Amino acid sequence: MDNKFTVSASPHFRIGFDNSKVMWLVNIALLPSAVASVYLFGMKSLAVMLISVITAIVTEVLSQLIFKREITIKDGSAVVTGLLLAFNLPSGSPWWMVVLGSFLAIFLVKQLFGGLGYNIFNPALASRALLLSSFPVLMTSWTKPVLSFLGNDAVSAASPLNIVKMNLTVPKPSYMDLFLGNVPGSLGETCKLALIIGGIILIIFKVVDIEIPVFFIGTVFALSYIFKRDGIYEILSGGLILGAIFMATDMVTAPLTRSGKIIFAVGCGSLTALIRNYGGFPEGVCYSILFMNCVVPIIDKITIPKKYGFVKSKATGGAK
């Protein structure tokens, strides 16, 4: 009986795991944060999530029809992108901006590059960067949590990172408020408890490797003391935990090797700390991940082991 092997490019999955199952596991892991955001910011956050997800699904179908590709909305990847984009938006985002952002994430960042597996940037983060540069006021209009599923009263307030960046006289929130999400911010980034629950789900099912979150967050923590800032406050503020668990670990845009993932994560953490301290915006997670996405091919090139039996010729500099 002949042994048959299937040779294909990474990423590779265990038996019983494919793109669809991985994506739906990610969606399940995002549910705790989705529920928390509705409780923290009211039904308006649910509207943002629904608009973003529906737009992502519709855009995915239309794009695949235009490019004459197989319709793949059942794999759940469009839902993941829609949710992650919503998580990076203020709860009071106007509907048209949510639609525009979700359209850009799917059509411009994902489908124009060839679809799932071919995009070089995380679609949700790339779209957030485009929206932030186009509508900076709307993208940084934070409101206090209403702590009610039916609450809709919006009261403007500064985010925790803004308080530090602008040296505001407003009292900083406690660690517990930061951990439970009782602070202004993007609707999916504030409740760290819900994000950690989702991260544990992904780690248990081995959807993500722990190296990227640990080294990403650990680097920010270490550098915060070099910059004379509170390391715990830096970890619990902004989108660091959301980005480290759900977006830096994107299997398409992250490195393939363990050492490559560590280099990638340390780079993300270093850039995040530098942008938070010296950049024009108080947050640097989005731009740090997007920048490191650009250098993933280089990281892979220097960290992927050489082929077995490969010997570099000293005379010609070639391989034999």
DSSP bridge partners of 143: 156
From the options 3.90.550, 1.10.3430, 3.30.1380, 1.10.287, give the CATH code of 19-303: 1.10.3430
- pLDDT at residue 9 greater than cutoff 50: no
- Confirm if 186 and 88 have CB atoms less than 8 A apart: yes
With cut-offs at 50, 70 and 90, classify the pLDDT of residue 55.
Answer: very high
**What is the C-alpha to C-alpha distance for residues 320 and 316, in angstroms, rounded to an integer?**
10
- Is the pLDDT assigned to residue 165 strictly greater than 90? no
DSSP track, 38-74: HHHH-HHHHHHHHHHHHHHHHHHHHHHHHTT----GG
Whether 1 shows a pLDDT value over 70: the answer reads no
With contact defined as beta carbons under 8 Å apart, do 300 and 253 qualify? Answer: no
Q: What is the per-residue pLDDT across 120-160, written as a single tens digit (0 to 9) for each?
A: 999 999 999 999 999 999 999 888 888 766 665 667 788 88
pLDDT-based confidence at residue 7 (cuts at 50, 70, 90): low
Most confident of the ranges 7-11, 50-54, 251-255, 300-304: 50-54
CB atoms within 10 A of CB 4: 5
Query: pLDDT over 90 for what percent of the chain?
Result: 70
What are the sequence ranges of the domains in the chain? 19-303
156 DSSP β-pair partners: 143
Q: Does the pLDDT at position 275 exceed 80? A: yes
pLDDT at 32: 96
Cis status of the peptide bond prior to 11, with omega within 30 of 0: yes
